[in-house]
Chain A
Amino acid sequence: MSRIRHLIVAGATFFAAACGRAPEVTKGMRVALITPGSVADAAWNAGAYAGLTMIKDSLGLAVSHQEARTPGAQEEALRAYAAQGYDLVFGHGFEFQQPAERVSAEYPKVVFIITSGERVKGNVAPLIFRLEEGTFLAGIVAGGMSKSGKIGFVGGIELPPIRNGYQGWVNGARSMNGKIETRITYLNSFDDAAAGREAALAMIRLGVDMLHHNADEAGKGVFQAAKESPGVFVFGANADQSALAPDRVLGSAVIDLPRAFLAVAREVKAGRFSPKVESFGLEGGVIRYQPNPAFGGSIPAAIKARLITAQDSIVAGTLRPLGAR
């Protein structure tokens, strides 16, 4: 019997310790990030985590991160941060929009930023990234450099920002070569790197020699496929991915997530934040085309010149990466 009593005492002590050390309410501002996938994807989620780290380092704010893959866990995480008194919560993906609106109704003071979100509601505001401006530039290089005249794109799940990125890529390539052939596959997953590799290899067998992706962790398979196939090159997405295959990546369409996150955190910290749709493109450098310096010498001058004029026209608004709307 005494053994059971010991257990009960131990359990109660542990419980008391847990309750006693209730969440310390710190004076300073606190920032949280919830990602829908692993921050080791070298892309979408890694960029967000880098942003959070930068907020901690350069603004000196307390930060916290949680990975939440299912809708139930995502809403729970939003609520948990709001209840603990976090001032700014980033929900990193469209899927956080609806739960954030529900939670925001109960915690109106907390600022919820939804990356790729839909709309402003209360203190819930979206960050929109016009990645198509960067993928258009990547498409220019692909269209200009392709020997076979065939390019391919591997997408994670068919979401509006990913569809737009693809459209920009195709339009960019077509602006260099009107007869370019294009292929696209959606994996219905952002995690399955084996599926990403298979999809890319299938395209390569059909003659595709320029690949692009937007599939986070699953996109790593596309780089693997390019590495295995001589003469095939690949373009990174969401982050500078040259390091994933240094002799096969011509460049990356980059979203500078840290810069965008930092800008929002600064506004909230200074009390200047007002909920609005924040849209980022080439103009401020949050979206950019990042060439792989290893290929600096092998890109023809004509293509480089075209990149500069296209960039200027996009910023000036005379060139629309998604075509006439």
Chain B
Amino acid sequence: MSVLVRLRTPVVASVLGLAILALGLSALGYDAFSALTALARGAIGSWYAFTSATLVRAVPLIVIGLGIAISFRAGGLNIGAEGQFSAGAMAATAVGLVVGRWPGFVAIPVVLIAGTLAGAAWVVVPVVLRLRYRVQEVISTLLLNFVAEALVSFMVQGPLQESKRTYPQSDPIAVAARLPLLPGTRLHLGFALAVLLAGLVGIVFSRTIWGFRLKVVGAAPRAAEVTGRMDVDRTTALALLWSGAFAGLAGALEVAGVTYALFLNLSPGYGFTAIAVALIARLNPIGILFAGLGFGALEAGAAGMQRDAGVPAVAVSVVQATIIVVALLAVARARLARPEAAA
């Protein structure tokens, strides 16, 4: 498939989404041109906006999206990334609070690994339920989101609460555990890691046996079993664990690179938006990189639209939902038209 054809769907979806947005804004009585200009300015209007608003938001979307691609490829429907993100954030905070005496090149990896492991651990229960009792992970992972939310709430008012014990938040993590920033911006090292991971996952998908196995197991589990060389359960289970690990890593990156502490409401729904990111990119890692950037830009631009064009937050959420729906419809249509090209 040529690059041009591959790009058609997302470009059409974006243009269509923006057109619907412009119509909707006009219908609501806003000046669509100035609102869209404010959106563009908030997302890419300056080096600062691009790095500190768009790219910072894109990091969790890309990292979680890559994990979702791994599990969806193998037919594992992990929709609990939001909870795994929180698990990673909690672990990263707990570890980040105690590594103050270590040098950064030790402290940072330890914090990130802690988050990654916690994210994977958060998927262990759904995996066991799936393997032993055939409980669908689409339900168990979703339900564990609520457990994670409650656990964060407990943590910031219990074991991880700040030492003053006043507000529901943790103390800031040690300076050594914070990710280096690009000078003059809020962009942290996590972005480089996200790009690197996209490349790695791309190689795994296209060049390794495991990547091939994921695809076969996801596309034709029965056929995979019949070959006698592929353990379907094992492959899907591993894919689910990896997707949890990626979401956990994203949570750790958010704490170590952006907030420096654990709060309630840490994520504005990254775990769900990332599903849209992965699907729009048709589970292609490089596509996820760009879809993540696109959604990051959209959210950053939405904030700009509120600030500079006075478009209320509710209208902004409606717009985002519209673009997701349009994009998914476009993807589904493309898939129907060319079934052989389905990811």
The residues of A with any CB-CB pair to B shorter than 8 Å are 4, 7, 14-15, 17-19, 21-23, 32, 38-40, 64-73, 75-77, 79-81, 83-84, 94-95, 98, 118, 157-160, 188
Contacts and interface: CB of A to CB of B under 8 A. Distances in A.
A23 B49 CA distance: 12
A32 B267 CA distance: 24
Q: What is the interface residue range for chain B against chain A?
A: 35 or more
B3 to A, nearest CB: 9
A22 B40 CA distance: 11
B254 A72 contact: yes
Given A71-B259, A158-B168, A17 B37 contact: yes
B310 A64 contact: yes
Given A71-B263, A80-B53, A83-B48, A158 B306 contact: no
Contact of A23 (B44, B52, B306, B308): B308
A71 B93 CA distance: 15
Contacts of B300: 76
B264 A157 contact: yes
B48 A64 contact: no
15 contacts: A17-B40, A18-B44, A19-B41, A21-B37, A66-B313, A72-B57, A72-B258, A72-B259, A72-B268, A76-B186, A83-B48, A84-B307, A157-B168, A158-B168, A160-B166
Nearest to A86: B307
A32 B308 CA distance: 11
A21 B45 CA distance: 9
Contacts of B44: 15, 18
A98 B172 CA distance: 10
Interface in B137-171: 150, 153, 157, 166-169
Interface string B296-310: 000010011011101
Interface of B: 4, 11, 37, 40-42, 44-46, 48-49, 52-53, 56-57, 150, 153, 157, 166-169, 172, 186, 254, 258-259, 261, 263-268, 300, 303-304, 306-308, 310, 312-314
A66 B37 contact: no
Nearest to B42: A80
Contacts of A65: 306-307, 310
A228 to B, nearest CB: 26
A76 B50 CA distance: 12
B4 A4 contact: yes
Nearest to B45: A18
B307 A32 contact: yes
Contact of B167 (A4, A40, A159): A159
Contact of A70 (B4, B168, B169, B265): B265
Contact of B37 (A18, A72, A84): A18
Contacts of A98: 172, 261
Most A C-beta atoms less than 10 A away, residue of B42, B168, B186, B261: B168
A268 B56 CA distance: 33
A66 B306 contact: yes
A77 B53 CA distance: 9
A21 to B, nearest CB: 6
A19 B46 contact: yes
Given A17-B40, A32-B307, A40-B314, 18 more contacts: A15-B44, A17-B37, A18-B40, A19-B46, A64-B307, A70-B267, A71-B258, A72-B57, A72-B258, A72-B266, A75-B258, A76-B53, A76-B300, A80-B307, A98-B172, A157-B264, A188-B150, A188-B264
B307 A72 contact: no
Contacts of A81: 307
A69 B264 CA distance: 10
A280 to B, nearest CB: 20
